Structure formats: structure tokens, C-alpha cells
Amino acid sequence: MAGAAALGLARAAHAASPMGMAAGPVRPTWDSLVSHYRYPDWFRDAKLGLWSHWGPQSVPQQGDWYGRFMYMQGHPMYLHHIKTYGHPSVAGMKDIQNLWKAEKWDPDALIARYQRAGARYFMALACHHDNLDCYDSRYHAWNSLRVGPKMDVVGIWEKAARRAGLKFGVSNHAAHAWHWYQPAYGYDPVGPKKGERYDAFRLRADDGKGQWWEGLDPQQLYTGGHRVLPDGIDTIEAMNAWHDRHNGQWIESGPKDDRAYVTRWLLRQTDLIDKYKPDIVYMDDHELPFGPVGLQAAADYYNRSIQWHGDIDVVLTGKKLKPRARFAMVEDVERGFTDHLWEEPWQTDTCIGDWFYNIARLTDKSYKTAEDVIQRLADVVSKNGNLLLSIPQPGDGSIDSEEEKILDGMASWMIHGAEAIFGSRPWRRYGEGPTRLIAGMQNEEKAKPFTARDIRFTTNKGALYALFLGRASGPTTIRSLARDLAAGQVDRVTLLGGGVLPHRQDPAGLHLDMPRDTGFVPAVRIEGRGLV
């Protein structure tokens, strides 16, 4: 739909729908989303985003889901919490949130480093399952202006990203807080504090008098006891089994006993969109949360984009899209792969370590390397996707020395390799090589190492690019460019960052003699007739 026409429809529509939803032509149905949505060119060109998956769970430096596992006796995070902060009947996640101070955070310097590493868009975590809004939240008192750093984290990130000319995004994980937090209402099944309920079960707003959280209601943070561990469980194994059965599933519906929770989620989401006008919104959900309410949030976002831009020029992501949702939003594949070239743009999100900062990644040097990241970028881009990469920060907001090296390695590759990535489009096939990837989410650990025979293709400005995922050197053959009518005629091959390479094209492929030390993921520009 043309921008002017869409804007006219939006202005002609009724002033606002219920709950303050933005007026406009997009209705909260899958059919309406599909009929109006078009993938923005900026997203298709951008290819690489950097993500600050950063919040209060970064404070303990123990990795992911601290706010859940600290309430599960026997878990390493529970043991760390007991040793470092005290028993969760007294020192709960609310207190960890207030320890998040961001005292070494320099957003402009970090954005500049991310941009050198190739980022074309930047994403800030707006609210994780721990239910703290990291922004100036109108509808949720547990937010970063009242708790922890006492500042508008998302708003500061947004200004820094836009100053640098980057597109800006936010991620919302709050739809799952209600079932994720239920262990906070539990207790130790064994030991000296057996049966003593944790802080979420005991505390109400009146208990905050004279405390740092005076005026805040812990039940609003912990979401209420919807599936509370029953009395009488007396082994850790039985406790874990109960939580797995009742609270361990990924649930996209709201709590049946608290419909207001879903209403508050929608208010918080539309407030977030209204305040920061993000170019991209990441939903940590399979499709959209809460059925028709999620559709309302999507329609609101698209209609607001029409008001801002004259057209839908934004991206909304969801996971495991069904056919009904295909082409209505962008599918995100978390920590996973695809084994084929997609017709529509998509995104994979991953992290160089744990989503939340884990000090063990630094001490045992187990981060993804710059080479790992660029291999992943080349594979994803060749299949019509984007890569969203998280660089974990500890609670103080800095990044560590190993992360700096990774970003510097990415930046060095970008000096010459960027033309094969940014603004590119897929070729007629994504690549070739012996390494087979397993399609799906959460399966990175199953991937085998790439070899020099694993090659990925992109096209840009009339040229074909071949990116070697392994360190190709010496005699090398690209079999997809065998001399026939389908492949076209190769006239010139240039190593990016090097020079023109001698080549020979015959029925077996395009033969090159690669230099012995090309560095990781060497790329060549291939020019000729009938190639693109």
C-alpha cells in the first residue's frame, strides 16, 4: 500500500479503539496483518543487529534465568544466592533488581564499538521474565526509574543508537513472567528452612514500610501466586517434577485466575511503543502472546508506524510461525539454523555466551569467537536472514576484555568483507559444502564445524559473492559455478581485501588458487555474464 494512501486511511479511521489502541487500517486479525504488511527495505539491507540483553539478572553474573532458578533448592544459582545474598525467604529477586546500578555503563562508547563491528540496528531489552520494566513505564511501578539504576535505560539506549544513525529496537519478554516466577512462591523441601515460604509468597505492599521498596507491591512484581507449590513436598526431586509439570511449559496464554495481567501487559506494550517508536520489536513468543490480545498489540504497532512513517516501516518478530502468520511478521529462530533459502526475510538471534552475563564464560574463555560470528552471519544472510547478536554485560554495564576482542575481530573483518553482506540479496542457491545444518531452534550445540568447502553466496550491486566458512587456501573449487548456461560466465574474481585471483572455469566448477593466509571467512567478488 502506498504511504500516502495508508496514512489517509489511518486518519479517516475512528479516533481510537479500546484500550487506547492506535487508529488505522490494520485490524487485529491475521488476515489484516498479512494483507497490510511488507518487509521494510532497511531491514533487508541491515543484516546485523547487536542486542543489549541486559538487566538485573546480569548482577549475579551466573547466566540465564537467575530470577527463576534462585528459588529452586539445589540448583547452582540457588546455592550461589544463599552464599552471596542470603536465603530467598528474605533476599529475593526484588533485592537483586535493586542491586542493578549500571555504574560503568557508557552507552555511546558501546554503540560506537557495535557499529564498528557491523551493527546496522541495535536492540535494548525492555522487560525480561523477571518483570522489571527497564524504561519509564507508565503502567508498571517496578521499573528502572524507581528500582536499581534509577534511570530510563531503554530511553538512553534509544537516544545513543539514533545519534549513531542506527535503527532501534526493543525486546519484550514479559508475557511469560506469570508462570516463570511461580517458584518464587515455593519453599525449601529439605534442610534447616524446610517449608519456609519464599519472599513472593509472604510479602505485600504494607510490608514495605521503612524498606527500600516502600510504596511498591511485591505481588505486582512476582505476578501473584497462580500455580503455587503445595505444602508437603519433602524432596528436591519432587519439587522439580512439580514445577516441570505445572510451570515448566512455554505458555502463551495468560493466567486464568487473573485476566487483568493480560490487560496490564497490553498497556505496558503500547506504552513502550508510544514512548520510544522502535523500528523493530522482538517478542519472546511463539507467534504472539495471549491470542487476540497479541493481535491487538501487533495491529497497534503497525498502525502507529503508518502514523509515524506514512507506511508500515517496522519489524515485529515472533517464533515458530504457523502458515496463518507467515508474511504477517518476521519469524525469529532462536539459537538455531535453517537448512534452506527462505522466500521471506527472517532473523536468527543468538549470543556469544549466555543471554545474561556469566563470569564463567570469561574465565574459561568459552565465548563464541569472531570467526564463529562471521561464519554464522554469512550462513544466515545467504538464506535471506538477519543475525541479531547479544553481547552480555555485567550489572555495571561494561563489557569484558574477551568481548572487546571479539568485537574488534568482527570490526577487522568488516573493513573488507562488508560489501558481501550489507545491502545484499540471496543468490539462486544459498551455498554448497559437506556440512549439514539441522533446522530448528535451540540446537546450536549440535552443529558440526564448518570446512573450507562450505561456501555461502550473496549478490550485491550486480556482483556475486562467495564466502568460505572455513579458512580456504591453495587450490579451491566452487562447484556451483561449473561452466554451463545455469552458472554463467565468470570474467573476474577478486579477493576482498586482496587482489585479482587467477581463475579457471570448466564443467567441474570455478577453480581458484587462494592465498595461504586469508584469515577467517575469506570472501571473493565474482563478476561476469549471466551470474546474477
Please check whether residue 251 lies inside any domain of the structure: yes
- Is residue 166 predicted with pLDDT exceeding 90? yes
pLDDT tens per residue, range 487-523: 799 999 999 999 999 999 999 999 999 999 899 999 9
| Percent of residues, the chain, with pLDDT higher than 90 | 94
Average predicted confidence (pLDDT) for the chain: 95
Burial 502-530 (b: 16+ CB within 10 A, else e): ebebeeebbebebeeebbbbbbbbbebee
The span from the CA of 150 to the CA of 155, in Å, is 12
Task: Tell me how many helices (H) and strands (E) the chain has.
Answer: 17, 18
pLDDT tens per residue, range 19-30: 679 999 999 999
Question: What is the residue range of 500's domain?
Answer: 431-529
Region 365-390 average pLDDT: 98
The span from the CA of 326 to the CA of 345, in Å, is 11
- Is residue 14 predicted with pLDDT exceeding 80? no
Q: Are residues 332 and 352 in the same domain?
A: yes
- Of 420, 446, 472, the position where a domain reaches its end is 420
The span from the CA of 179 to the CA of 223, in Å, is 9
Q: Are residues 194 and 206 in the same domain?
A: yes
C-alpha closest to that of 91 among 100, 104, 82? 82
Residue-level pLDDT at 486: 72
Q: Are residues 44 and 85 in the same domain?
A: no
Please check whether residue 358 lies inside any domain of the structure: yes
The span from the CA of 430 to the CA of 18, in Å, is 46
C-alpha closest to that of 378 among 236, 189, 164, 522? 522
Q: Are residues 8 and 70 in the same domain?
A: no
Q: Are residues 350 and 273 in the same domain?
A: yes
Residue 130: give its domain's CATH number. Answer: 3.20.20.80
Please check whether residue 425 lies inside any domain of the structure: no
Structural domain tally of the chain? 3
In the chain, what is the straight-line distance between the N-terminal and C-terminal CA atoms, in Å? 29
Q: Are residues 303 and 358 in the same domain?
A: yes
Residue-level pLDDT at 249: 87
pLDDT tens per residue, range 67-114: 999 999 999 999 999 999 999 999 999 999 999 999 999 999 999 999
pLDDT tens per residue, range 306-361: 999 999 999 999 999 999 999 999 999 999 999 999 999 999 999 999 999 999 99
Tell me the CA distances in angstroms from 151 to 121, 183, 323, 386, one per residue in order.
Answer: 22, 29, 41, 31
pLDDT tens per residue, range 209-224: 999 999 999 999 999 9
C-alpha closest to that of 329 among 320, 339, 341, 338? 320
Q: Are residues 43 and 171 in the same domain?
A: yes
Q: Are residues 247 and 274 in the same domain?
A: no
The span from the CA of 258 to the CA of 263, in Å, is 9
Q: Are residues 294 and 203 in the same domain?
A: no
Q: Are residues 46 and 170 in the same domain?
A: yes
Q: Are residues 274 and 327 in the same domain?
A: yes
Q: Are residues 169 and 186 in the same domain?
A: no
- Of 420, 449, 466, the position where a domain reaches its end is 420
The span from the CA of 147 to the CA of 212, in Å, is 9
Residue 478: give its domain's CATH number. Answer: 2.60.40.1180
- Block residue for cell numbers 513502550: 272
